[in-house]
Amino acid sequence: MPAPENAHEIAGLSGVSAQALARVPIRTRSASVTVSAWRLEVTSDQGPGTIVLVEPPSGEAHYRGDGIFLGWEQERLAEAYAALRAREEEAGLDLPQLG
């Protein structure tokens, strides 16, 4: 099956295609409250995965990878996330501004 028209190569993965960002509620071990995070769902020739960007009130961003991104270091997750976001912006996707 051919790759979708918007698929590309990122961080050593081929045929990468991302869904629009979704704002999701999460809980962290270090916080006693629920906070929001950005979830980026990705498909690739190597399989599906997600990158979640957590921005706690302390201001220190943290990435969590699942699926094909499981076990990736923070720097590599940050690079993949930024590259996927840049592709979304190039495509002209309009994301809503949330509070």
CB atoms under 10 Å from CB of 49, counted, come to 20
Beta bridge partners of 62: 54
- Average pLDDT over the chain, rounded to an integer: 82
pLDDT tens figures, 51-74? 999 987 777 889 999 999 999 999
Indicate the burial class of 66 (C-beta count within 10 angstroms; 0-12, 13-18, 19 or more): middle
Give the domain ranges of the chain.
17-90
Read off the pTM: 0.76
Beta-bridged to residue 17, according to DSSP, are: 43
- pLDDT category at 4 given cuts 50, 70, 90 is very low
Q: How long, in residues, is the chain?
A: 99
